[in-house]
Structure formats: structure tokens, C-alpha cells
Amino acid sequence: MFYETEACRISLKKLETKGNVTVVGAPGDGKTAIGIHLALEYYQRGYKIYNAHSVHDVMKNHTNSCPQIFLIDDPIGVHVMDDEKMGAWVSYNTEIQAFIQNGGTKLIATVRKNIMNTCQQQINKTILVKNQVDLTMVHFSTQEKEGILLQQAGGKINKNDVKHLIEPKYYPAFPLLCHFIVNGSKHISNYSARQQPTSVIYNFINELTKTQTVMFHYCALVIVAMHDGKFDQQDLDDLEDKRKLQKIIELCGIECKPSSLSTLGKSFDEMLGIYLTEAKLGVEFLHDRIYSAVVYHFGSRHLSFLWKNCSSVFIRDMIRSENASLSGDWSNEDESNLVVRVKEQNYESFAKRLTDDLRNGNVVNVFLNPSLQDVGFQIVLADQLLKLPILDLKNLLCHIPQNTFKEKSTRQGKTSLDFGVLTSSPFHWICKLGLHKLYTAVLGEMPDRDIFVRNIPGHTSPLHFAAGFGHLEIVKSLIELGADVNSRSKLECDDDSVGDHYYSSFTPIFYAVRQNHLEVADFLLRSGANPDMVRDQGAPPMLLAADKGHHRMIKTLLDYSADPNICCYHGTSPLFRASKEGHKDAVRVLIEGGAIINYQNIKDEGLAPLHIAVKNGHYSTSKTLLDKGADPNLPDSEGNTPLHVAVSNGKGDTAKLLLVYGGDPNLPNKTK
């Protein structure tokens, strides 16, 4: 059952007029329900529905032979941003936008508000940033809340019994809250609209531990949680998992006897529709908040069990040090209940577990845990690592995970940072995240730390990461220890793969420039970084700065004698690129720094910066170029002047501007 709301109607309108919509909200706000409703609406219109799991599914299944709509939940991560998924969306952005603009393809994405807020810079490069409907802003009216609650109740409760639950203010996860209140309607007077969904779910779960009758229900939920949120009931007879299952049953307060497994099997079925839902194999949680609440209830009481039995993915998503921050900005959400918090007295056990994960090659999962940003925990983890023999420590810090991009099918859409991040050693990650305490501690115990830094293996050096993520102190230290400021990133790929040249030959200055880290770039340049070094496709740092409109970075590069007229392999100059993107301040700084204002790219129809600024409708940029002396009558290879371009592209205001600056309306082009 679905109750149509104003947010749903707005989403449908955006989908109809723009071709895509991104529904944003807190977990439990009803994002997925809206997405499904929209997809079914288009199914009625003759569209084929694809439930995609990644942008690769969209690329693989897209066709022009029939209208289709793609529905994708959490496209860039669930608990934390997924670097690989985000990189793929950035890489495929042009293709995805073309699919939608050409008609016949629609895209519905649902993204958690906290994920959206923590990756603004990256998501701005994707279609996901367009046509957003934020459920924390376009929230339910009192009438909608009443309708949702009564519809979920299905006649089981009276309208007058729920008046106290209806308030106009936004509270997160109201639909999910309704689900649990309805399923516990005999206690409905105990709940209010202001209660957090997580605390309501937690209370329900806690009730399951009170009597032996429902204890098996609790145990069933814990079993699902301790298997990363999905469990096949057939595995109750799995001998390899038997010891773990027996321990869970024991910790749940149930006597482990032959009949226990049979009773547990029935409990899974009895939990369907309330806590669990059917999956391809077995069952999974109806919602992530239920998963989190079960983990919190059980895990907070049995931490040692988690260390010994749970996967590195589980530890990454569900366990946090006491002082680790959580992302999210919905003011009424008590997110501390969503994860198990490890108190400082248990940091050593936590650090031991993460050290074991590192030794087992689970590098990415360890460093994606926000606990690594907790300075206090960094110190404890460093102490744990330093207990290793020095040779073992070096080997651990240098260990490169297996390259997962050898197969072409898994290489599509990967950016240079995907290759760098996902094939990086622990030491690379320390530099990427700026974990200064950990960095200082592990290097401080190495008598030959300079040799260690210079010989770290990998496709991308630690200095690349430290520069790209703006960690100045680590950049300084690495260079002092002999890191090469002009080292190029490189890949070891199969010979027949397409586009490998794109991923290679970036120097650290490229990353600092692209991310606009001015102090880092300045230090790299002072330390000998070549401002005019080009990568394999011929693009210099200056072109990156111009493309992004980083005018202060352009000035910094010019201060170190960078060439303002250096072009890429395709003949594009920095001034042309800045003009194309409409970055008027970058245009001004480049011209003042010596950029040739009327330079024409013979590889691109003889276009000059003014042509492209006019074509793209950048009025202010066009005026800046004209003020600085750009020729309003300069013809391209077809004889088109900027005035021809303005008229043919419907840029009336810019055409008038060109006339003011001497544009000749009588000049002919070569068109017959």
C-alpha cells in the first residue's frame, strides 16, 4: 500500500520533465517507497523497470529499443560513501545524461541525506545532483502523516487513537515509525511523533528478550544481523557455521538443544513482514534501521563475540570508537544508536581486530571506518601496530590489495582515483586520510624511514594522495624524507584494455591543483614540482585549474613560471577551457598572466576563446574577453565570427554586446 504525498507528486513531475530524479532523505523517510511508486507509474505507461544496483547495471542494460526506467537505491553507498561507486558515476556521467536527454530512458535514485552531505564535491560531477527532492525539506503535512499511519494500520486502529502522533514538524523516518507503532498498536498510547524510530525499534527488540516465548524471535534477528544482514535458513544445518550459531543461541539466553534449531526456523517465518523480508536466498532485514538496532542491542553487550566472528564489512559499517564522528545533519536524529560504540577501555581489543583485518588484506574496509579519524583511537592502533616486528610492520604497511581491475568487465567506468584508492597499501591510506598521529607513530620507529618512503610500491604514491586530499603536514614530511615531487602515477594493466593511457602519468601537483589545495600546491612548487609537466594525454596542471575555474591556483602556477599557453594533445589552451566553462575570473588571471587571447585551435574548427564563450552563453566571460582585447570579428575555419556564433545559437544579449565592441554584422562566413 502506498499513500501518495506532495513529495511524490513533485518527484513525478521532475521525472516527467527532466528525465531523472534523486530522492534524498534520512533512512526510513520513505525514499524507496516513492521510487517504487514512480517506477510502477511508468510501468503502466509501457516502460520496462530495471532494479539497478550500480551505474554499471545502467550501462549494461540500457537500450534504445524500448522505453526503460532504472530504479537504484543508495547508488554511492549506504553507511559511508563508496569510492568505487562514486568514481563510476563520475566516469559515466556524460553517457548517462545522454541516455536521458535522448528520451526513452528515466532514472530514479534514492540517496541518504548524510551520504549526500559528505560528498558534495564529488556528487556535483554527476547527474545525481540534479532534480533533487529532499524529504527533510519537502516533508509530510499533518494530513499526509495521518493518511500514511491509517493506511498502514489497515483498519486495525481508530483515527482518534493516533491524533497524538500527528505533528506538523519534520521528524525522521515517520513511515518506518508508523510500521512499528501499527505492529504494536495495543501499546499505541505509549508512543509519540517525537520519538526517534531507532529508539522505538530498539524498544520493540528489547521486548523480545523478556520472555522465553519470544526469545527465539530475538535470536533469529541476531543471527541475521551477525551474518551481515542476510541469512539463508538452510544454513542452520551448516556444520561450518555451527559453532557460531551455537554461541549466538547461548548468548541470547536460549538452551542449545536439538529442538532449538527447529524453533528458530519457525521464528524466521514469524518475523516476516515485521522485521524481516524475503531475499533471493533466505531473509534480510525489512529496513537498515532494524539491522542497526539489532546490532546495537546485541553487539553492545557482546563486543568480544563481534571481534571474533563478524566480517570486516560488518566491523566497518557497524562499529565505531567512542569519539568517532558520524555524518548526518537531521537535527532530531540520535545517530549514536545506529552503531555499536566502543568505549576507550576497549580500544585495544578494537585495534587488535583492525590489525588482524589489515594482516588479512582487508585494507579498504579498515580505512573506511570513521574510527580511524578519532585521534585517540589512532594512538591505540599505532601502539598495536608497533607491537609487530619491524619487518612485519613494513610488510603490512606496504601490502597492496589484489588488483581487482584486470578483467575488462570490472574496469569500465573506473577513474584514476579508483585505481589508486582500491589498490593502495595501508600507508597510502594513512596519507590519504591525513592520519597524522598514526603516520608519525609508525614512521617514528623506523630507522630507515627515508628508504621506506621512497620505495613504497603501488600505482600511485603516498605523496599523490596526501597532495590530492590537502594534508600539508604529511606532504612536507614525505618530501623531507625524499619522496619524488614529480613522480608519475602508473598502472600495470592488460595490454588490450581500452583507455589505460587516461589513468597514468599524473604527478602530485595535478591532484593538488584539481582539488584547489593552494598551500599544498605552493609547497610542491617550492620543492621543485614542474608546473608544466604534462600527463600522457598532454594535459598540464594549468589546464586542470582553468577547467575548474580555480583562479587563485592559476595565479600560484603563474608565480612559479607556468606557461599560460600550454595546450593539451587536442590543442585546447587553458584560456579556451576557462572560457568554455564560463570562469571569468580564471579568464582574467590567465590573460593578465600572458595567455594569447585570440589563440585559435586548428584541431577544433579554428575556434578562439571568445567563440566558445559566446556559444555556451557565458555573457560575463565574453565581456571579460572583449574588455581584455579579444577580436569580435575573428573568423573560425568556416568563417564564422563570434557574432555569427551568437546569432546561430540564439544568444541575443551577447550579440548586442559584440556589436557594442565593434562586431561587424556584414562579414560573411563560408556558408553557401
Output the CA angle 395-398-399, nearest 5 degrees.
80
| Grid cell digits, residue 337 | 544508536
* pLDDT (0 to 100) of residue 347: 96
* pTM for this predicted structure: 0.77
Q: How many helices (H) and strands (E) does the chain have?
A: 37, 10
pLDDT computed for residue 402 by the predictor: 66
Q: Which residues pair with 276 in a beta bridge?
A: 272, 285
Q: Domain 6-134: which CATH class? A: alpha beta
Taking the C-alpha atoms of residue 78 and residue 228, their distance in angstroms, rounded to an integer, is 13
**pLDDT given at position 315:** 94
H-only helix segments in 445-583: 449-454, 462-468, 472-480, 508-514, 518-526, 541-548, 551-559, 574-581
Residue 479 vs residues 394, 436, 465, 474, 540: alpha-carbon distances, Å: 19, 15, 13, 9, 22
User: Alpha-carbon distance 284 to 304, whole Å?
Assistant: 24
CA 82, 84, 89, 90 torsion: positive or negative?
Answer: positive
From the list 391, 204, 408, the residue with the least C-alpha distance to 289 is 204
Q: How far apart are CA 489 and CA 503, in angstroms?
A: 8
Q: Dihedral of the CA atoms 183, 184, 189, 194 (nearest 10)?
A: -70
Q: Are strands 230-231 and 20-25 parallel, antiparallel or unpaired?
A: unpaired
So what's the pLDDT on residue 303?
Answer: 93
> Would you kindly state where each structural domain of the chain is located, as residue ranges?
6-134, 142-195, 196-301
Q: Which residues, 6+ apart, have CB-to-CB distance to 607 below 8 Å?
A: 576, 600, 601, 636
Gap between the Cα atoms of 154 and 142, Å rounded: 19
Residue 176: per-residue pLDDT: 75
- Per-residue pLDDT, 421: 64
Query: How does pLDDT run across 406-427, given as a tens digit for each residue?
Result: 444 344 444 455 556 667 899 9
**Are 398 and 457 in contact, with CB atoms under 8 Å apart?**
yes
- The values of phi and psi at residue 581, to 5°, are -90, -5
Q: State which residues of the chain have pLDDT below 50.
A: 185-186, 188, 327-337, 404-415, 492-503
3-state per-residue secondary structure call for 252-266: CCCCCCHHHHHHHHH
For residue 297, give the H/E element and its range: helix 288-299
Q: How far apart are CA 58 and CA 85, in angstroms?
A: 13
State whether residue 216 is helix, strand or coil. helix
Q: Round to whole Å and give the CA distance between 160 and 133.
A: 32
pLDDT of residue 243: 84
pLDDT of residue 656: 96
Report the pLDDT value the prediction gives residue 184, as an integer from 0 to 100.
Answer: 58
What pLDDT does residue 44 have? Answer: 93
Residue 564: the pLDDT is 97
